[in-house]
Structure 1
């Protein structure tokens, strides 16, 4: 849920860049932005894809829009052939400079840890679900019945098993489950490592919310090199040009860039990062507490209603004894 919320926020933040700074292409850019974050989500969930392919596919789709709406704003109708030519040309002329590669690098480092964490959590769920439905042996079933109900045969309906007796029975029943202790401890250590990686310099939320700034820098770079790009792109068959009707939208990308991309939703960004960090800390603390789960599962069970804690006597499997 935290991943999904963060992805939605980052996607909305990136979309708002086009709505506020690049209005002429905002509507057409919505689909490439959506596809980018869908690909990122699939990558985190373990799909057979890469961050590089997702980012470069996004910039492939973005370049025809940047070229026809910002660099040469007179183009109003792009044919499929011309659009495809621009897409292929993007791969050769690199109109976005180093910014597209930088975005791949930053996202790859942070999303790798997120992908591994997601897969590790899925594995943990499978392990827990498997042990939750572990079948009891006949010997275990007999021991449990004896521990719980044999006192009733003597009319001792209120007496409870002694703690030591309960532990012996439970440890015998859970012997196969407790063997998972070493692997479970290693698993928890792996989760700690991955979450610490996410919280380090290549933080997931910083990388995702930073996509907006990376895209903005890339577009500004392409605009700055517009004349050179136009000369190179001339190899594509030029579509029919028509005059743009109505007043041109104001491109306030310069203003956005001047303020370092800190729009009105900067406070929202800070708030989300704080919430995500708190959830991260809660998750780490919870996982640390579960490190000894399989080693102490018998103690946990015998610490509940199975045994009598506030009585001076208990059932030891044979008779009532003093605690």
Structure 2
């Protein structure tokens, strides 16, 4: 994103340099400020693009007046320059260019802003759920399933499929509640990405900015007599250069040399790659118990298996479904209630889904509130646990314990956030390794929650 904005900024300066050489030097800082505002807005800063565009054109008017409307003037002093700037506010010297630029930038930048915020939240959801503490009941059930056969010298016997599903669905009951909201999140992201490709592409919009700026300046140049009389009527007559002085005016147009593209790979291609990999994880939370049992833990059909008490040909207990309510009949794991941390994650997913679907318009501070939540993150605990379980909810401080949910270092080149740890480093869009971008949406290693389920500590 940074490279894309910088490229559009360089193209704008290059166009001004080729068309209005003397103007380009004075306009460069103003151009830089405009594109800085655009980049900050996309990354989540609470600012108005309409106001940013207005500031840009207002700041551009004094040098336009000095170099194009009244060529041959002495350098405008501070007082007269400020008067020219104020006068330009009511003269509409650029025609409809400011309105065009505002409309195009807002239409393309807001979806990208929401997209990046959604991806940031997606990373938070995964990191939070990946580090949930297992309840005491869950740990006991896992130990009984994995290690009790060893006491009877049955080291190669695996648990029955139904038994394994009951244990893991009990352990993952809270995570299963995330499933419908996560599916909606993935579907909403997919719909947003399709809309962006169909007409809200930021790359194409930024590429059009230099032309709009050039047209705006050309309109002011053509309106020079009108603008000159209006400014003189408000600010008085400016000082002109002495005879023989060097006149600084319009330079004949030169062939435009647009800076080379940074990469043949467009933002649209990256989004499509991301979407392809994202679809793989649509059913991640709902299917985690099934995936672990069928692919790693449980015995195959027709093979004798462990049912928690003995070796049997088949598991005869009722196999419950996924989710909190279904665990009321679970014969293997007692589940008390939904995890409060998971409930917070679900609330955040609901909010961001509304934004992604266009059912809610973000106001100042809304996206930050969704990211951070309305309460203090410290002091949260996860699972049915107490001091004996080794988890806590008392927060952290000098001499205190750290929260159960933690984040460490994992570099994200787009989101510029740090999440993950040695067990799990999640990559939502781009991770840069030795200056080579890799576009993936996957766990680098097995998720920590899966490791704790498949390798419980006795």
| Bin of the TM-score, shorter chain as denominator length | 0.7 to 0.9
**Contact 1:24 1:70 (C-alpha < 8 Å) held by counterparts:** no
TM-score (norm 1): 0.85
- How far apart are 1:179 and its partner, in Å? 0.6
Give the structure, 1 or 2, with the largest relative contact order (CA under 8 Å, sep 6 or more): 1
- How far apart are 1:75 and its partner, in Å? 2.9
Residue matched to 1:259: none
Aligned residues: 312
SS at match of 2:261: helix
Q: Mark the CA change 1:115 to 1:158 in structure 2 (over 3 Å): closer, same or farther.
A: same
TM-score (norm 2): 0.62
Q: Once the two structures are superposed, what CA deviation does each residue of 1:163-192 show, in whole Å capped at 9, x if it has no partner?
A: 443322211101011111121122222212
Residue matched to 2:171: 173
Residue matched to 1:260: none
The CA RMSD over aligned residues, in Å, is: 2.8
Residue matched to 1:299: 290
Query: How far apart are the structure 2 equivalents of 1:275 and 1:309?
Result: 46
Residue matched to 1:236: 235
**Contact 1:171 1:298 (C-alpha < 8 Å) held by counterparts:** yes
- How far apart are 1:320 and its partner, in Å? 4.2
Query: How far apart are the structure 2 equivalents of 1:249 and 1:78?
Result: 15
Moved more, 34-43 or 64-73: 64-73
Query: How far apart are the structure 1 equivalents of 2:115 and 2:4?
Result: 15
SS at match of 2:76: coil
Residue matched to 2:219: 221
**Contact 2:71 2:249 (C-alpha < 8 Å) held by counterparts:** no
Structure 1: stretches of 5+ with no match in the other structure: 257-262
**Contact 2:26 2:63 (C-alpha < 8 Å) held by counterparts:** yes
Structure 2: stretches of 5+ with no match in the other structure: 315-458
Q: Once the two structures are superposed, what CA deviation does each residue of 1:260-299 show, in whole Å capped at 9, x if it has no partner?
A: xxx4448738x65x52221111122223222212111223
- How far apart are 1:221 and its partner, in Å? 1.0
- How far apart are 1:237 and its partner, in Å? 4.4
Moved more, 156-165 or 200-209: 156-165
Residue matched to 1:143: 141
Residue matched to 1:19: 17
Residue matched to 2:184: 186
**Contact 1:77 1:239 (C-alpha < 8 Å) held by counterparts:** no
Q: Once the two structures are superposed, what CA deviation does each residue of 1:229-275 show, in whole Å capped at 9, x if it has no partner?
A: 1111112245544369668687244x66xxxxxx4448738x65x52
* Greater helix proportion: 1
